[in-house]
């Protein structure tokens, strides 16, 4: 059974679940996969606030409790629908806690899977533009992993990153299901900047950004949606014969 | 914590979850409610096939197992995102099994809540058109409860019911997330028939139909979406101060 740590934000967990449904070969209800989505947003501190030092409370312990809930309910593979939660400052203590708590689930690491897809992409992109929260940006989650693969991360200057993707992400969180045009415009502006800086690919490195992918002007750049990649990996690891052929855009 | 029995179909459980998010007063991730969505579609027999005698396997036992999973994970209130599962032939044995298994959750009964909203509606509709699966239709789930309230159910003749809503529902299930125009047209035709028969309200009595509500031509009739009503009741019973003011259309 697949487990999803959702609620961070609530619609990002839903989006991951939808991506699993959409990428599963199934024509009837019964042909779909067993999935448990645990959304306990009230217990999980804002990841970016923690990474910026605005709160001392590491969301790692609440995240570990949610993973254990999924473990105890019978999940074998778990994905966390939040890029920022994969910052080593959060992810590593969470993994340590899970070992102590006796978790047996296999965690699928969203960022590692995105990096793998970038290295496998037929267009062989070299300069990878990153859109994310300030938490993901400042902890260099993507930058470090890309550089380790010999690729060049492209990011905006900090003031621009705050004014465009960071602002857009929190506007999407506040809007929930009916997302207005403003965050779409902000992200489009960010994409243009990254393209002008030389980026030949874009990582929508925050689950909220994946939710507006179809409304974005991606400037023809190869685009990587971490929630889509995580969904496909979760299917591949549990029920590989049920995985649809590539749906990826870009 | 709110529990959702999803997976029947998969997108109906997602829709119920989305309706909960959309009807919750919240501007940050942390202000959203704790929800667990269990989607185990592979174990649950098609409800309509059972009610029509096409299979002997009552989905009640698999449904009870999913409710117990939610109970054991700490849910206090549970909703089942499927109208047909509320047929007494399924619902009553499920409740009996849950008592034996020691369930402590409060089940929120979708159909009872829809009936309550119909009787409270300011337009006081009297002739209630019902769109549903053949399973819900033939077991008279809505018809019996409406008549008990002194209201008149309006349904299509069986051949028309099979050709329009029943067909549309299974087309929506097969399509998953990208629903084509054909089922929308079929349901619009069904609504016109019901209006011509004298209906002054419509119940979208299958969770798949609620998913296309915004694309339907509802002919100005008062409309009741069971997933929306169930979502609002679940919030009301758990965190009443978080319930948004009425969002209902129609």
pTM of the predicted protein model: 0.91
Q: Is the pLDDT of residue B36 over 60?
A: yes
Q: B234 CB contacts (<8 Å, ≥6 apart)?
A: B2, B20, B77, B79, B108
Which of A21, A73, A174 has the CB atom closest to B10's CB atom?
A21
Across the range A96-120, mean pLDDT stands at 97
CATH number of A2-110+228-242: 3.40.50.1860
> Rounded to an integer, what distance in angstroms lies between the CA atom of residue A146 and that of residue A153?
6
| pLDDT score at A178 | 83
Write down the pLDDT at residue A175. 84
What is the spatial distance between Cα B222 and Cα A15, in angstroms, rounded to a whole number? 31
The set of residues, in sequence order, having a beta carbon less than 8 Å from that of B121 and lying 6+ positions away, is B201, B222
> Peptide bond before B40: cis, by omega within 30 degrees of 0?
no
- For residue A9, the model assigns a pLDDT of 84
pLDDT, position B9: 85
Closest residue of B to A72, CA-based?
A: B73
Are the C-beta atoms of residues A206 and A169 closer than 8 Å to each other? yes
pLDDT band for position A221 (cuts 50, 70, 90)? very high
pLDDT digits (tens, 9 = 90+) for B136-195: 999 999 999 999 999 999 999 999 999 999 999 999 988 867 899 999 999 999 999 999
Cα–Cα distance for residue pair B247/B243, rounded to 1 Å: 10
Nearest to B177 by CA among A245, A178, A24: A24
The reply to whether B56 touches chain A by the CB within 8 Å rule is no
**Closest-CA residue of chain A to B28:** A174
- Asked if residues A79 and A230 have their Cβ atoms less than 8 Å apart, the reply is yes
Q: Is the pLDDT assigned to residue A67 strictly greater than 70?
A: yes
Instruction: Write the residue in B29, B74, B178 that is nearest to A10 by C-beta.
Output: B29
Radius of gyration of chain B (CA): 17
The pLDDT confidence band at residue B247, using thresholds 50, 70 and 90, is low
**pLDDT for residue B249:** 40
Per CATH, B2-109+228-242 and B111-225 having the same topology is answered yes
pLDDT value for A173: 85
Which residues of B fall within a CB distance of 8 Å from A69?
36, 73-74
* Cα–Cα distance for residue pair B233/B115, rounded to 1 Å: 13
Please state the rounded mean pLDDT for residues A23-48. Answer: 93
Residue B214 neighbours by CB distance under 10 Å: 8
Mean pLDDT over A41-48 rounds to 89
Give mean pLDDT, residues B105-116. 97
Distance (Å) from the alpha carbon of B195 to chain A's nearest alpha carbon? 31
Contact A28 B69 (CB under 8 A): no
Give, in order, the Cα–Cα distances in Å from B18 to each of A44, B21, B30.
20, 5, 16
Using the Cβ of B29 and the Cβ atoms of chain A, whether some distance falls under 8 Å is answered with yes
Judged by DSSP in three states, B25 sits in coil
For residue A176, what are its two tokens?
């929930």
Q: For the domain covering B111-225, report its CATH number.
A: 3.40.50.1860
pLDDT tens digit sequence for B191-209? 999 999 999 999 999 988 9
Indicate whether B248 pLDDT > 60: no
Instruction: Indicate if the pLDDT at residue A247 is higher than 60.
Output: no
Nearest-angstrom CA–CA distance, A8 and A14: 10
B77-91: average pLDDT: 95
- Judged against a pLDDT cut of 80, whether residue B102 lies above it is answered with yes
Confidence of residue B107 (pLDDT cuts 50, 70, 90): very high
State the pLDDT at residue A75.
98
Q: Where are the domains of chain B?
A: 2-109+228-242, 111-225
pLDDT, greater one: B43 or B224: B224
Domain B2-109+228-242 classified CATH 3.40.50.1860? yes
Closest C-alpha among A131, A86, A133 to residue A111: A86
pLDDT over 80 (residue A159):
yes
Q: Which of A62-71, A169-178, B239-248: highest mean pLDDT?
A: A62-71
The reported pLDDT for the residue numbered B250 is 32
Instruction: Decide if pLDDT at A250 tops 80.
Output: no
pLDDT recorded at residue B149: 96
| Contact status of B68 with chain A (Cβ, < 8 Å) | no
Any B CB within 8 A of A38 CB: yes
């Amino acid at each position: 059974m697949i487990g999803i740590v959702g609620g961070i934000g609530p619609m990002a967990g839903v989006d991951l679940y939808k991506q699993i449904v959409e990428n599963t070969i199934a024509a009837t209800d019964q042909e779909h996969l067993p999935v448990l989505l645990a959304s306990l947003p009230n217990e999980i501190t804002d990841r970016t606030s923690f990474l910026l030092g605005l709160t001392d409370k590491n969301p790692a312990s609440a995240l570990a409790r949610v993973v254990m809930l999924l473990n105890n309910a019978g999940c074998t593979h778990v994905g966390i629908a939040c890029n920022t939660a994969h910052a080593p400052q959060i992810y590593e203590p969470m993994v340590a806690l899970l070992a102590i708590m006796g978790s047996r689930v296999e965690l699928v690491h969203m960022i590692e899977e995105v990096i793998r897809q970038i290295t496998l992409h037929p267009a062989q992109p070299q300069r990878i533009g990153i859109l994310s929260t300030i938490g993901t940006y400042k902890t260099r989650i993507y930058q470090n992993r890309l550089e380790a693969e010999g690729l060049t991360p492209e990011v905006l200057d900090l003031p621009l990153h705050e004014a465009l993707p960071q602002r857009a992400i929190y506007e999407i969180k506040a809007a929930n299901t009916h997302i207005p045009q403003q965050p779409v415009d902000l992200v489009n502006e960010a994409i243009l900047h990254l393209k002008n800086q030389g980026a030949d690919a874009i990582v929508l490195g925050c689950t909220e950004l994946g939710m507006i992918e179809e409304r974005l002007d991606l400037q023809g750049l190869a685009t990587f949606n971490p929630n889509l990649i995580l969904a496909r990996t979760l299917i591949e690891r549990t029920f590989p014969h049920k995985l649809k052929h590539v749906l990826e855009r870009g």
